[in-house]
Amino acid sequence: MSGSWQEPAGPALIEPVPIADTVVSGIARLERLPGGWLRAVLYVDQPNAEGEPEKVLAARLVGPGSGVRAAVRQLLALLDEEEVTTVPGIAH
């Protein structure tokens, strides 16, 4: 791992006001929505009042399903630290 974040390839993004990061522990589920949209429901692990761990909803992200293939390739490239040209099971 390089240890430093680099701007990912892709379109330039305009951030007119600072957008805070939302830290999550994982993806609770992925949902298919009408019109080709997808929703990712994200959670964070937190202890409850009794100190027992529980999963608390942190965010719901909605985006077009058409962008998922590219996002998966970017994610795999980050995890493997190498250029990903194909993803098994996904037609290109």
pLDDT digits (tens, 9 = 90+) for 13-55: 889 999 998 999 999 999 999 999 999 999 999 999 999 999 9
| DSSP string over 23-37 | --SEEEEEEEEGGGE
The model carries a pTM of 0.65
pLDDT of 11 strictly over 60: yes
| Residues 46 and 24: beta-carbon distance below 8 Å | no
Of 82, 53, 83, 85, residue with least CA distance to 69? 85
